[in-house]
Structure 1
Amino acid sequence: MTDSDAILKAWEPENTIPYPREEWLDEFPAPAAAYPVVDFLPIDMSAVFTAYLEGARFDLYSRINLDMGPDGTLALAVIGAVPDDRDDMLFCLDTDSGRILLLGVGDGTLELVNSTFKALTEFLYHFALFIDADTGGFGRAKRAKALRATLNAIDPEALADRESWWNVALMQLGSKA
């Protein structure tokens, strides 16, 4: 587990925004272990994540209750979006389980991104280190393979589906070599 100082340094202090960690721990049934040690998120993380939702359809930390039919309601909190599709592809905290899901607003799809909010922050931390160390195409595929191994050790469930959000992002990194 990465400490908060290392995460803050990797994301850069001016590129972070607080989220209501303590309030959510009290309010949501998700287990405390599902939350990251930090109470902030990156505002912008290259092509994989943004918390900058000004002018988007949903505000940061908005609550969304999805009717799941006979399974009841799925309560979500918006924590970010896909940078190129801020209106339609939202990263959401499942407030019951602590999982991070990608919600396709237009078509109502849900995809597992990470098994916990904590794992998402670890993935974003390692992704930031990868980007900061990037010197161009030479060696990128090898470094992307090492990043995949690191992320798989943190949250194998996030990489179990070959079409998952993180698998697609990692394939794109490796193909840009």
Structure 2
Amino acid sequence: MTDSDAYLRAWEPDNVIRYPRAKWIREFDAPAGTFPEVDFLPIDMSVVYTAYLEGARFDLYTRINLETGDEGTLALVVVGAVPSDKDDMLFCLDTASGQILLLGVSDGTLELVNSTFKALADFLYQFALFIDADTGGAGRGRRASALRAKLNGIDPKALADRESWWSIALMQLEGAKG
């Protein structure tokens, strides 16, 4: 278990935003264990994640109800976005399961990002450690492969599909030169 000070060091104290962890655990059906152990998230994580949604189509922590036909309604909460497409590619917490899904707003797609909200926080933490230690160069691909192995130990479902969000992000790092 990583303590909150480690997350703050990795994400930097000026680069975090609080979310209502205790309230969400009480209000949502998702099991308490699916939530991060910290009550904050990074604001900006390079090209993989942002919680800075000012001026975007959706605000941080906006609730979105998606009608799924016979299955009923999928209740989501926006917890971030893809930095390059903050209006259309949203990281959402499924309030029933605790999963993090990538919602493609314009085309109505949903993709599993992480099996739990906790796993998303753990992935972002490990990614921050990788960025902080990265010096570029020829060894980046090897270090990215080691990061993939560590992330796979945290949440193998997030990397099971070669076309998933995290798989593609890691492939780019593994193939990066210098």
Deviations 1:39-72 (A, max 9, x none): 0000000000000000000000000000000110
Q: For residue 60 of structure 1, what is the amino acid of its counterpart? A: L
Q: Distance in 2 between matches of 1:5 and 1:174?
A: 29
TM-score relative to the length of structure 1: 0.99
Q: Which residue of 2 aligns with 1:40?
A: 40
The answer for the alignment partner of 2:129 in structure 1 is: 129
What whole-Å deviation, never above 9, does each CA across 1:129-157 have from its counterpart, x for those lacking one? 00011111220000000000000000001
TM-score (norm 2): 0.98
CA distance in 1 between counterparts of 2:132 and 2:44 reads 13
Report the secondary structure of 2:110's partner residue.
Answer: strand
User: Where in structure 2 are there 5+ consecutive unaligned residues?
Assistant: none
Look up the equivalent residue of 2:12 and give its one-letter code: E
Which amino acid in 2 is paired with 1:116? T
2:77 counterpart residue number:
77
Q: Distance in 2 between matches of 1:7 and 1:148?
A: 19
Deviation readout 1:101-159 (Å, 9 max, x if unpaired): 00000000000000000000000000000001111122000000000000000000100
Q: Which residue of 1 aligns with 2:145?
A: 145
Alignment map for 1:1-177 (pairs within 5 Å): 1-177=1-177
Separation in structure 1 between the aligned mates of residue 120 and residue 61 of structure 2, nearest angstrom = 16
| Percent identity between the two aligned chains | 75
Quote the Cα distance in structure 2 between the aligned partners of 1:173 and 1:145.
8
Deviation at 1:2, TM superposition (A): 1.6
Taking the aligned partners of 2:146 and 2:174, their CA distance within structure 1 comes to 10
- In the TM superposition, what is the alpha-carbon distance from 1:34 to its structure 2 partner? 0.1
Aligned mates of 1:138, 1:16 — CA distance in 2: 31
SS at match of 1:77: strand
Q: CA deviation at 1:98?
A: 0.1
